[in-house]
């Protein structure tokens, strides 16, 4: 779609109405910390949250990779969308009337938006139709199946809006087209009817099937899954892809599970609709289901928005088809698994049962299932155990196959600590408890694992922090940030001033060890206020308690605490001058980095094809350049002799 040029009034109204917390929390698990919200950055891989959202300023910033900006920029970067696409989506979300600079195109864009709204309406009405049919005489068999065979409670049937598609060829067609007067083309676009192959006319997509509505993350019905009540194949039939529905990107019950996933910090993925519904019914509400297709990377990334620990448990069927589905799913998300971006576990229920069967066959199904989840092995342990099935280590061929399979798996791991662990783990399996030959197998595995640790591909590096352009710039940052931290630690009376000025100018520490230390200082802020001993012993204890002693910041903390140049800063006016100069240096370097980033962006965009996004980054570039010029007359840190006379 060629987007029109939006009127400035529309853009400004969107900017006024957007709430950055609402926007970001769709993608990141945010937790309140002081005045800000924090979470794991969606733009780079990290284990400790360094991504912050300031709701009062409507800004986000990541201390880990340097990404920052407003809600519009966040959506542009996270979805790789143009400026206009983001504004259009936000306008719809916040009900902003669209105006364009090309009046003739207003009707076209309103028509596009109107089409989707009509499809939502048609699908929602169809869901109500199916629900009603389930309670009628014609839906008796379907209702009995749910209550007697599946043992679902009436409130569960209502909660998931389960329904029944009558057996007639044109029942829904007559209801929507002839009775409700919806255009045939729209009903077909919604995936509810199909044209006859011979002759004229249409027939219903779903006939004599138990109907399960599929909803988007906002809880709107967008498609259906239909289970056959006879021997008709396929047993399960999904809606075709439509403007509202792409089965490779949707997860069943995510709209109902997302809050539980957030609170429990983990998600269970099952194969079937009824597995998910059964688990929800007994209170295991952090459960979603795939839609019969291979579990995709897109689906996984959706789930990772809601769990901070990135813990995902696959509970597919334990039969051959289920094992193959698990293997296929692991292959689909391989790049995220091997790079450590997801903490994946695999649960195969004993005796080949699926989740629904297991829950129904045990009186205390909830607790027994939770125990299975707690004992579920990590994906790599599961894969290694799969290698051992039907293998006899006394046979050379079997032993060789297992050993080579282990090498192949370990060789893909990107984390050196994981590699070391699994080398020992696999060597122990191969040695079969014989401590005498364990060193031999350790050495053999290490020898075969001669492949160097792979560097993250450009695709895996969703964002790369823009580093300082040269050594001089890096040194300037290091010196300015170091002196700010030293003054903050050794001069309590200036702590609030430093904090306020950093906030006011929206400045952040760029160097990793400084970011770590600054986050620790903020976390123990109240305790710091009570610290006044000259040797900083209490402060040292507070800081060291916050970190692992292997942290790369530990040496830097010792350097800061052992500061011995205090006599140079006894003049309060000079201290203020030094603080201001350091802040100017930080601001200039950060602006220079942002300028380079915007320049890279607009130079790669075709201004004819996407003029709004091109103009956005071009404006950002020139705006930043102007700010740098305004800083030039001011004295920066590099121009100030902090240890001598001015």
Instruction: Tell me how many domains the chain contains.
Output: 5
Mind listing the pLDDT tens digit for each residue in 462-514? 333 334 455 666 777 888 888 888 888 777 778 878 877 877 776 777 777 78
The answer to whether residue 644 is domain-embedded is no
- Residue 552 pLDDT grade (very low, low, confident, very high; cuts 50, 70, 90): low
> Does residue 155 sit in the same domain as residue 212?
yes
> Does residue 23 sit in the same domain as residue 85?
yes
State how far the Cα of 542 lies from the Cα of 9, in Å rounded to an integer.
Answer: 51
Mind listing the pLDDT tens digit for each residue in 440-467? 888 888 888 854 444 433 333 333 333 4
- Which residue would you say has higher pLDDT here, 315 or 82? 315
Q: What is the pLDDT of residue 494?
A: 81
For the residues 38-45, what does the mean pLDDT come to? 84
Specify the range with the lowest mean pLDDT, choosing from 107-111, 289-293, 420-424.
107-111
> Does residue 191 sit in the same domain as residue 127?
yes
> Does residue 425 sit in the same domain as residue 396?
yes
State how far the Cα of 556 lies from the Cα of 559, in Å rounded to an integer.
Answer: 5
Q: Is the predicted pLDDT of residue 643 greater than 60, yes or no?
A: no
CATH number of the domain that residue 82 is part of:
3.90.580.10
For the residues 1-8, what does the mean pLDDT come to? 62
Q: What is the pLDDT of residue 458?
A: 36
Rounded (5°) CA angle 300-305-311: 65
Mind listing the pLDDT tens digit for each residue in 63-97? 777 788 888 889 888 877 778 888 888 888 877 77
CATH number of the domain that residue 310 is part of:
3.40.1360.10
Q: What is the pLDDT of residue 466?
A: 38
Q: What is the pLDDT of residue 108?
A: 60
CATH number of the domain that residue 112 is part of:
3.90.980.10
Specify the range with the lowest mean pLDDT, choosing from 165-169, 260-264, 372-376.
260-264
- Which residue would you say has higher pLDDT here, 426 or 79? 426
> Does residue 85 sit in the same domain as residue 119?
no
- Which residue would you say has higher pLDDT here, 425 or 516? 425
- Describe the crossing of helices 379-388 and 320-332 by its angle, rounded to 10 degrees: 130
Q: What is the pLDDT of residue 463?
A: 37
Helix (H) or strand (E) holding 424: helix 416-431
- Residue 375 pLDDT grade (very low, low, confident, very high; cuts 50, 70, 90): very high
> Does residue 260 sit in the same domain as residue 203?
no
DSSP-H helix ranges across 227-354: 254-264, 273-281, 297-304, 320-332, 334-338
Rounded (5°) CA angle 167-169-173: 110
State how far the Cα of 602 lies from the Cα of 466, in Å rounded to an integer.
Answer: 16
pTM of the model: 0.61
For the residues 539-559, what does the mean pLDDT come to? 60
The answer to whether residue 611 is domain-embedded is yes
Specify the range with the lowest mean pLDDT, choosing from 527-541, 570-584, 630-644.
527-541
The answer to whether residue 1 is domain-embedded is no
Phi first, then psi: what are they for 194, rounded to 5°? -135, 145
Specify the range with the lowest mean pLDDT, choosing from 243-252, 256-265, 301-310, 610-619.
610-619
Q: What is the pLDDT of residue 350?
A: 78
The answer to whether residue 500 is domain-embedded is yes
Among 64, 81, 102, the domain-final residue is: 102
Q: What is the mean pLDDT of the chain?
A: 81
Mind listing the pLDDT tens digit for each residue in 95-150? 777 776 565 555 565 565 578 788 999 999 999 999 999 999 999 999 999 999 99
Among 55, 80, 102, the domain-final residue is: 102
Give the domain extent around 390.
385-448
Rounded (5°) CA angle 220-225-229: 140
The answer to whether residue 646 is domain-embedded is no
> Does residue 481 sit in the same domain as residue 587?
yes
- Residue 545 pLDDT grade (very low, low, confident, very high; cuts 50, 70, 90): low
- Residue 553 pLDDT grade (very low, low, confident, very high; cuts 50, 70, 90): low
Q: What is the pLDDT of residue 637?
A: 56
Share of the chain above pLDDT 90, in %: 31
3-state secondary structure of 223: strand
- Which residue would you say has higher pLDDT here, 244 or 504? 244
> Does residue 228 sit in the same domain as residue 261?
no
State how far the Cα of 258 lies from the Cα of 28, in Å rounded to an integer.
Answer: 12
For the residues 47-70, what does the mean pLDDT come to? 82
- Residue 401 pLDDT grade (very low, low, confident, very high; cuts 50, 70, 90): very high
> Does residue 438 sit in the same domain as residue 475?
no
Phi first, then psi: what are they for 434, rounded to 5°? -90, 100
- Residue 646 pLDDT grade (very low, low, confident, very high; cuts 50, 70, 90): very low
Q: What is the pLDDT of residue 546?
A: 56
Q: What is the pLDDT of residue 430?
A: 93
Q: What is the pLDDT of residue 109?
A: 57
CA-based Rg of the chain, rounded to a whole angstrom? 30
Residue 173 · residue 193 · CB < 8 Å: yes
Mind listing the pLDDT tens digit for each residue in 596-618? 878 887 888 777 777 777 777 78
Q: What is the pLDDT of residue 104?
A: 56
The answer to whether residue 457 is domain-embedded is no
State how far the Cα of 437 lies from the Cα of 587, in Å rounded to an integer.
Answer: 60
- Residue 644 pLDDT grade (very low, low, confident, very high; cuts 50, 70, 90): very low
> Does residue 230 sit in the same domain as residue 131?
yes
Among 80, 102, 124, the domain-final residue is: 102
List all residues 6 or more positions away from 461 whose beta carbon is below 8 Å from its beta carbon.
Answer: 44
> Does residue 227 sit in the same domain as residue 267?
no
- Which residue would you say has higher pLDDT here, 79 or 554? 79
The answer to whether residue 211 is domain-embedded is yes
> Does residue 416 sit in the same domain as residue 490?
no
The answer to whether residue 208 is domain-embedded is yes
């Amino acid at each position: 779609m060629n987007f029109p040029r939006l009127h400035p009034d529309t853009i400004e109204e969107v900017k006024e109405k957007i709430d950055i917390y609402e926007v970001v929390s769709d993608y990141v698990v945010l937790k309140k910390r002081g005045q800000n919200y924090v979470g794991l950055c969606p733009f780079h891989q990290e284990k400790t949250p360094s991504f912050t959202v300031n709701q009062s300023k409507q800004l986000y910033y990541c201390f880990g990779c340097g990404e920052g900006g407003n809600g519009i920029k966040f959506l542009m970067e996270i979805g790789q969308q143009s400026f206009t696409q983001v504004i259009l989506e936000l306008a719809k979300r916040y009900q902003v009337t669209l105006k364009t600079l090309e009046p003739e195109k207003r009707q076209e864009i309103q028509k596009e938006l109107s089409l989707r709204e009509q499809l939502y309406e048609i699908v929602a009405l169809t869901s109500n139709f199916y629900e009603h049919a389930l309670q009628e005489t014609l839906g008796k068999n379907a209702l009995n199946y749910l209550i007697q065979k599946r043992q679902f409670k009436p409130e569960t049937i209502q909660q998931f809006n389960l329904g029944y598609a009558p057996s007639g060829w044109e029942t829904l067609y007559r209801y929507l087209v002839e009775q409700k007067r919806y255009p045939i083309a729209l009903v077909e676009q919604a995936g509810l009817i199909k044209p006859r192959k011979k002759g004229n006319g249409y027939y219903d997509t779903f006939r004599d099937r138990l109907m399960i509505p599929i909803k988007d993350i906002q809880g709107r019905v967008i498609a259906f899954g239909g289970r056959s009540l006879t021997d008709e194949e396929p047993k399960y039939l999904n809606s075709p892809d439509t403007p509202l529905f792409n089965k490779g990107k949707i997860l069943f019950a995510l709209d109902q599970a997302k809050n539980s996933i957030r609170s429990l910090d983990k998600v269970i993925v099952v194969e079937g609709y009824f597995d998910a519904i059964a688990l929800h019914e007994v209170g295991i509400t952090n459960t979603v289901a795939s839609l019969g297709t291979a579990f995709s990377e897109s689906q996984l990334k959706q789930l990772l928005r809601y769990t901070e620990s990135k813990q995902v448990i696959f509970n597919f069927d334990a039969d051959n088809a289920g094992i193959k589905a698990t293997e296929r799913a692991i292959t689909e998300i391989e790049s995220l698994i091997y790079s450590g971006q997801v903490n994946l576990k695999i649960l195969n229920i004993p005796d080949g049962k699926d989740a629904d069967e297991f829950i129904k066959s045990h009186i205390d199904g909830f607790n027994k299932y939770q125990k299975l989840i707690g004992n579920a092995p990590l994906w790599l342990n599961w894969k290694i155990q799969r290698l051992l099935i039907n293998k006899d280590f006394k046979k050379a061929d079997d032993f060789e196959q297992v050993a080579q399979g282990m090498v192949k798996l370990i060789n893909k791991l990107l984390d050196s600590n994981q590699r070391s662990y699994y080398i020992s783990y696999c060597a122990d399996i191969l040695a079969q408890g014989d401590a005498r030959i364990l060193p031999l197998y350790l050495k053999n595995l290490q020898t075969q694992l001669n492949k160097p640790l792979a560097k993250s591909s450009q695709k895996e590096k969703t964002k790369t922090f823009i580093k300082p352009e040269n050594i001089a710039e890096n040194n300037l940052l290091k010196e300015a940030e170091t002196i700010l931290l030293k003054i903050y630690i050794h001069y309590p009376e200036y702590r609030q001033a430093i904090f306020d000025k950093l906030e006011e100018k929206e400045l952040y520490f760029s160097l990793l060890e400084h970011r770590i230390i600054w986050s620790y200082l903020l976390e123990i802020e109240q305790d710091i206020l009570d610290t006044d001993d000259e040797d900083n012993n209490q402060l040292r204890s507070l800081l060291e308690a916050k970190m692992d002693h292997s942290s790369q910041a530990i040496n830097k903390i010792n350097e800061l605490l052992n500061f011995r140049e205090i006599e140079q800063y006894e003049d309060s006016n000079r201290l203020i001058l030094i603080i201001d100069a350091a802040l100017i240096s930080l601001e200039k370097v950060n602006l220079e980095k942002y300028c380079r980033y915007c320049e890279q962006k607009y130079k790669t965009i075709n201004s004819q094809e996407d003029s709004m996004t091109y103009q956005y980054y071009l404006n950002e570039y020139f705006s930043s350049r102007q700010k740098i010029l305004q800083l030039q007359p001011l004295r920066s840190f590099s121009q100030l002799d902090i240890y001598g006379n001015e």
